Chains A and B, each alone.
Chain A
Amino acid sequence: MLKALVMRELTTLMRRRRIMALQCGLVALFAILVAIRWPTDSRMALTGSRSQQVFQLFGYGLLATLLLILPVFPATSIVREKKQGTLALLLNTPLGPWRIFLGKLTAVLALSGIILVMSLPAASACYAMGGLSLYGDLWKVYQLLMLAALQYAVLGLLVSTYSNSIDSAVRLAYGLVLGLSVMTLGPHYFFQGTKGYLADIGELLYGITPLGAMMSLTGAGDVGSKGLITKTEVLGRFTVTSLIVSVIASACSISRLNHTIFDQARPQGAISDDQTQSVRFFRRLFFLVDPQRRSSNISSLVNPIMVKEFRCRRFGRLHWLLRLVAVCAVLSLGLTYATTAGTFDWGVETIGGIMVVMQVALLALITPSLSAGLLSSERESRGWQLLQTTPMSIARIVWGKLLSVILPLMLILCATLPGYLVMVYIEPGMELQVKRVVICLAAMAVFAMLLSAAVGSLFKRTAAATAAAYGVLLSICALPLLIWLGRDAPFGHKTVEAALSVNPIAAALSVIRMPGFQDYSLIPANWWFLGIGSIISLLVLLTQTYRISRPQ
């Protein structure tokens, strides 16, 4: 029984053209990487530095592939079956929840296994180049990759059991990836070497992320260590935490796979206006803008599409945005205050770096989820056909949709402005830098919005559009950083600078003089890239909108 389920899941996955393209692309990439560093000289360095340089990139590349691509499949797996009605059929068979879970997990792990197996020739080539230990290097990296695949596959399935729509599952899965693998590095970076509970929390979180373990395994553990030498066995800690997380998430997922997953009443549409005055008062106090109030008619002065987009998104409702903005503002001001008060000896550059990273992470997480489905959600819900029968022009529709993304992004950008202002007040010499950082962030917001919208417009389904937009945006943000990790060896200063010039995060960090980025001059090359990229994305979006809206 289990075999049939695994085969069905795996066949469905492997039949997709994108998976085939991914496999071919990965093999080609690894082959090129090895070929570039393959010794052509008759003499060889016994230290094996060349193979270690390749191996470093190889490890990060594989990990990035797993983190960016793998979670989408489990995250959409159960919720898709729930929507299609096949989950009810599965639950009605003698398979039982744990077999269904195991079948889906095995299929995703098999896919990640295939990806890892396809990387073995490149890994063997690295080993053949010398300087790598079979157990100490190769096996440990593969052990880490397998654990990461297990952890994120299980988390993806957990997300899928709790989600009500496919695209929200995709968003949540990428949020988890970003939070658990990248954001967890932050506290360790800032509090390492100090004493107290913040340092302990930072250390604890460092054990959760596979990136920390990979850095330690590939000899990049000193990156961001500020000269401190750590004796912690990072891989061991990651092994333990990932297994614990996997077991807990599996138990939670299996416990969800029963009738309760369908046992939800249809929302009755409660309205605050019909409640008592005290209830209305408290709701207003709590929400500021009560999402359950009866909304007024759309004004003639605003774009109705924009209002519709805000009303359709649960997260787009004003009370959520206000909370997000408040959190951003409080955090940025808090960080700046901490430096001013001398609580942490970080320097203004580091504080600026934290704020930049925080904002970029927010933009990278929120923008694709807002703009990738602008067209695909309409096509999927068949709302596009209805819009076509209204007298609204294509330009007005597209502008309304873009406005619904621009406004939240502007709010997020403006939220940290007080922090930057305080920074300039402390260090007036940084005014130009801060201005440039704000331009970098604004340019990134526009670029991320248009890129996500353009990529998303190529798909008919929102989940695929969201996943593709996240994939492309995170690749632009993450891949140049992989090259940055290999700075000086195997990549020279010019190569790293060229690669970083497409990366908006690196550009902002270089402007703020964040340690590690201060040697690169990325402006105005980055602005040119973002500008041209934005224009191309806008053209793609408009062309695609025109294409789907003209009479057949």
Chain B
Amino acid sequence: MTTDQPRKTATDIPVVVMEHLTKQYGSFTALNDLTLTLNAGQILGLIGPNGAGKTTAIKILVGLIRPTSGTAKIDGVDCVSDSGRIKRLVGYMPDTFGSYDNMRVREYLDFFGAAFGIAPRIRAKRIGEVMETTGTEYMKDRFVESLSHGMQQRVGLARTLLHDPKVLILDEPVNGLDPQARIEMRDLLIQLAKRGKTLLVTSHILPELTRICDRVAIMTHGKLRAFGTVDEIGRQVSQQRTIESHLVSADQVSTAANIIRQAIEPGADVVEAPAEAIVRFRTARPESELGEVLARLIQGGIRVTQFREVQTDLEEAFMSFARPQQAIVSTPVSAGGPIHA
């Protein structure tokens, strides 16, 4: 799935709305004026280094933490004053499983179903459904503490789905999973979004988020640094764009590099890759001036097959915001997405 194409089930109805959320512990600010909106059916990836304030924001949404100031609403229900209704609207999967000794998977789900007040007959049916969705049916008689981490994550997700919540808030759902389990979990999350669930996912595994998220929010030091699609964030991050020029012949690489060096700003980074017959360079020149560079190449007799911008990936964007000096000087970015900073 690409982030450019919104999921068909995604709508423009805002479901999760956080406005000027701030949480302070004494003089330490864990969350600083966070404002963002998530629409129904969307998947939001919340990323940031340790201590960025992701879990604080999540815990405010599920009613486990009270904000110092600001408001958080899910489906119009206030997360602070009406936490009872929030519990039925949200399915929360923390970063730890929360297992119980000597309890089988089915008993575990049955217990949480009963805790949510689901009537026994409906509960039995519902447990069957969530087990089928999460692929946990075959482990129903296994003891939860004896399950592998990947299995526990699936059971955790099944538990989250039991009361059919509108919004799923998943803290590090792919953390510690092997590649296959990660792919399975990713597919599962996409499947849930297709069913109309709104998902808020935190993760350190950035490629996973790139593949599944409609929107990404980058946080550092309790502040929102960037918000939007992966492409939009890439553009925000980099004032300088990376351009690749693919040539027909590797012999022309050196000549092409010289022409480019003369055409763009002095001292700019130009990399020659003769093995691939590519010249890669970084420039802050606008689109119109880049056409000039291409024209000079052609005029210089360079046979060009491709001349394109390389997209900045999420990892690069994340690293750019995670750098300490960047974190201190940068200001909240609002581009593209429904952000009200």
The closest CB in chain B to the CB of A291 belongs to B102
List, in ascending order, chain B residues with CB within 8 A of A298's CB.
Answer: 110-111, 113-114, 120
Complex A-B, nearest 10 residue pairs according to Cβ-Cβ distance, in ascending order? A304-B114, A266-B146, A269-B142, A390-B115, A269-B141, A298-B114, A297-B120, A382-B98, A382-B96, A551-B66
List, in ascending order, chain B residues with CB within 8 A of A388's CB.
Answer: 63-64
B115→A392 contact, CB < 8 A = yes
B97→A299 contact, CB < 8 A = no
Interface centre among B66, B111, B124, B143 (most CB of A within 10 A): B111
A552→B115 contact, CB < 8 A = no
Q: Give me 18 A-to-B residue pairs in the complex whose CB atoms sit less than 8 angstroms apart, sorted by A's number.
A: A295-B107, A297-B120, A297-B124, A298-B114, A304-B115, A307-B114, A308-B103, A381-B100, A382-B98, A385-B94, A389-B62, A389-B90, A391-B84, A391-B88, A391-B115, A551-B64, A551-B65, A551-B80
B111→A307 contact, CB < 8 A = yes
Q: How far is the CA of A125 from the CA of B209 in the complex (A)?
A: 73
A311→B107 contact, CB < 8 A = yes
The closest CB in chain A to the CB of B159 belongs to A386
The closest CB in chain A to the CB of B117 belongs to A391
Chain A nearest CB from B106 CB (Å) reads 8
A294→B141 contact, CB < 8 A = yes
Q: How far is the CA of A24 from the CA of B250 in the complex (A)?
A: 82
Q: How far is the CA of A552 from the CA of B97 in the complex (A)?
A: 21
B64→A389 contact, CB < 8 A = yes
Q: How far is the CA of A387 from the CA of B80 in the complex (A)?
A: 17
Q: Give chain A's interface residue range (CB within 8 Å of chain B).
A: 35 or more
> Footprint of B on A, CB under 8 Å?
165, 266-271, 294-295, 297-300, 304-305, 307-308, 311-314, 317, 381-383, 385-392, 551-552
B110→A267 contact, CB < 8 A = no
> Which of B80, B112, B143 sits near A390, CB closer than 8 Å?
B112
> Which of B103, B116, B117 sits near A311, CB closer than 8 Å?
B103
Give 14 new A-B contacts, CB below 8 A, not counting A300-B119, A312-B101.
A267-B142, A269-B104, A270-B141, A271-B141, A300-B114, A307-B111, A312-B100, A313-B102, A381-B99, A388-B64, A389-B63, A389-B92, A392-B115, A552-B66
B102→A311 contact, CB < 8 A = yes
List, in ascending order, chain A residues with CB within 8 A of B106's CB.
Answer: 294-295
A386→B98 contact, CB < 8 A = yes
The prevalent SS among residues of A at the interface is loop
B225, CB-defined interface residue at 8 Å = no
B83, CB-defined interface residue at 8 Å = yes
The closest CB in chain B to the CB of A299 belongs to B120
List, in ascending order, chain A residues with CB within 8 A of B64's CB.
Answer: 385, 388-389, 551-552
A-B contact count (CB 8 A): 108
Q: How far is the CA of A268 from the CA of B139 in the complex (A)?
A: 9
List, in ascending order, chain B residues with CB within 8 A of A317's CB.
Answer: 102
Complex interface residues of chain B between 49 and 108 (CB less than 8 A to chain A): 59, 62-66, 80, 83-84, 87-88, 90, 92, 94, 96-104, 106-107
Chain A nearest CB from B274 CB (Å) reads 49
Q: How far is the CA of A281 from the CA of B92 in the complex (A)?
A: 42
Chain B nearest CB from A390 CB (Å) reads 4
> Footprint of A on B, CB under 8 Å?
59, 62-66, 80, 83-84, 87-88, 90, 92, 94, 96-104, 106-107, 110-117, 119-120, 123-124, 139, 141-143, 146, 159
List, in ascending order, chain B residues with CB within 8 A of A299's CB.
Answer: 120
> Which of B97, B100, B141 sits near A308, CB closer than 8 Å?
B100
The closest CB in chain B to the CB of A383 belongs to B98
Q: How far is the CA of A312 from the CA of B146 in the complex (A)?
A: 14
List, in ascending order, chain A residues with CB within 8 A of B90's CB.
Answer: 389
Interface centre among B59, B102, B104, B142 (most CB of A within 10 A): B102
Chain A nearest CB from B166 CB (Å) reads 14
B94→A551 contact, CB < 8 A = no
The closest CB in chain A to the CB of B147 belongs to A266
Interface centre among B96, B100, B117 (most CB of A within 10 A): B100
Q: How far is the CA of A295 from the CA of B101 in the complex (A)?
A: 16
B65→A552 contact, CB < 8 A = yes
The closest CB in chain B to the CB of A312 belongs to B100
Q: How far is the CA of A77 from the CA of B220 in the complex (A)?
A: 40
The closest CB in chain A to the CB of B67 belongs to A551
A382→B97 contact, CB < 8 A = yes
List, in ascending order, chain B residues with CB within 8 A of A266's CB.
Answer: 143, 146
Chain B nearest CB from A234 CB (Å) reads 42
List, in ascending order, chain A residues with CB within 8 A of B84's CB.
Answer: 391
Interface centre among A269, A381, A392 (most CB of B within 10 A): A269
The closest CB in chain A to the CB of B66 belongs to A551
Chain B nearest CB from A436 CB (Å) reads 39
A381→B87 contact, CB < 8 A = no
Q: How far is the CA of A401 from the CA of B88 in the complex (A)?
A: 23
B143→A267 contact, CB < 8 A = yes
Chain A nearest CB from B175 CB (Å) reads 14
B87→A383 contact, CB < 8 A = no
B100→A391 contact, CB < 8 A = no
Chain A nearest CB from B45 CB (Å) reads 21
The closest CB in chain A to the CB of B169 belongs to A389
B146→A389 contact, CB < 8 A = no
The closest CB in chain B to the CB of A397 belongs to B115
List, in ascending order, chain B residues with CB within 8 A of A304's CB.
Answer: 111, 114-115
List, in ascending order, chain B residues with CB within 8 A of A387's CB.
Answer: 115
List, in ascending order, chain A residues with CB within 8 A of B116's CB.
Answer: 390-391
Q: How far is the CA of A382 from the CA of B123 in the complex (A)?
A: 24
A390→B98 contact, CB < 8 A = no
The closest CB in chain B to the CB of A388 belongs to B64
Q: How far is the CA of A163 from the CA of B182 in the complex (A)?
A: 34
Q: How far is the CA of A244 from the CA of B311 in the complex (A)?
A: 75
List, in ascending order, chain B residues with CB within 8 A of A294's CB.
Answer: 106, 141
Chain B nearest CB from A305 CB (Å) reads 8
Given A271-B141, A297-B123, A385 contacting B65 (CB threshold 8 A) = no
Interface centre among B62, B115, B141 (most CB of A within 10 A): B115
List, in ascending order, chain B residues with CB within 8 A of A312's CB.
Answer: 100-103
Q: How far is the CA of A27 from the CA of B99 in the complex (A)?
A: 43
Chain B nearest CB from A190 CB (Å) reads 38
List, in ascending order, chain A residues with CB within 8 A of B146's CB.
Answer: 266-267, 269
Q: How far is the CA of A313 from the CA of B102 in the complex (A)?
A: 7
Q: How far is the CA of A269 from the CA of B107 in the complex (A)?
A: 12
List, in ascending order, chain A residues with CB within 8 A of B115's CB.
Answer: 304-305, 387, 390-392
